């Protein structure tokens, strides 16, 4: 994996307030147990076949549980020309900081 752009949950919160897109790459049961408000669910395993759902002309924030899977997806998307940022600490850090979640 090459060097990927990453930022923390505070930066993610600011991005959400600007209307930027969040893609949650966890499995469905993880997503359903709580996710960042407004996040779009596209599991890591299907990113290659669902890339047409992601705009290349807008900033994309990629999140998983801890930042590991989302880092891999961010690398993949970046190599394909998408302006993607990995969320360090993932949903786990988001919840630990007391930010709201959707079920």
Q: Answer left, alpha or beta for residue 37, where phi above 0 means left and psi between -120 and 50 means alpha.
A: beta
Q: What are phi and psi of 101, to 5 degrees?
A: -130, 160
Q: Active site residue: 42, 64, 73, 93, which one?
A: 64
64 is catalytic: yes
Q: Which residue has the tokens 């060097």?
A: 3
Q: Which residue has the tokens 């600007």?
A: 18
Q: Tell me if 49 sits within 8 A of 11, measured CB to CB.
A: no
Alpha-carbon dihedral sign for residues 34, 40, 41, 47: negative
Q: Which residues are catalytic?
A: 64
């Amino acid at each position: 994996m090459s060097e990927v752009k990453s930022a923390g949950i505070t930066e993610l919160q600011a991005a959400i307030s600007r209307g930027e897109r969040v893609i949650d790459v966890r499995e469905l049961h993880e997503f359903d147990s709580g996710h960042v408000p407004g996040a779009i669910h596209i599991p890591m395993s299907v990113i290659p076949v669902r890339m047409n759902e992601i705009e290349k002309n807008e900033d994309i924030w990629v999140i998983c549980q801890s930042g590991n899977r989302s880092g891999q997806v961010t690398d993949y998307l970046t190599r394909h020309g998408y302006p993607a940022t990995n969320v360090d600490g993932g949903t786990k850090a988001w919840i630990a900081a007391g930010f709201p979640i959707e079920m």
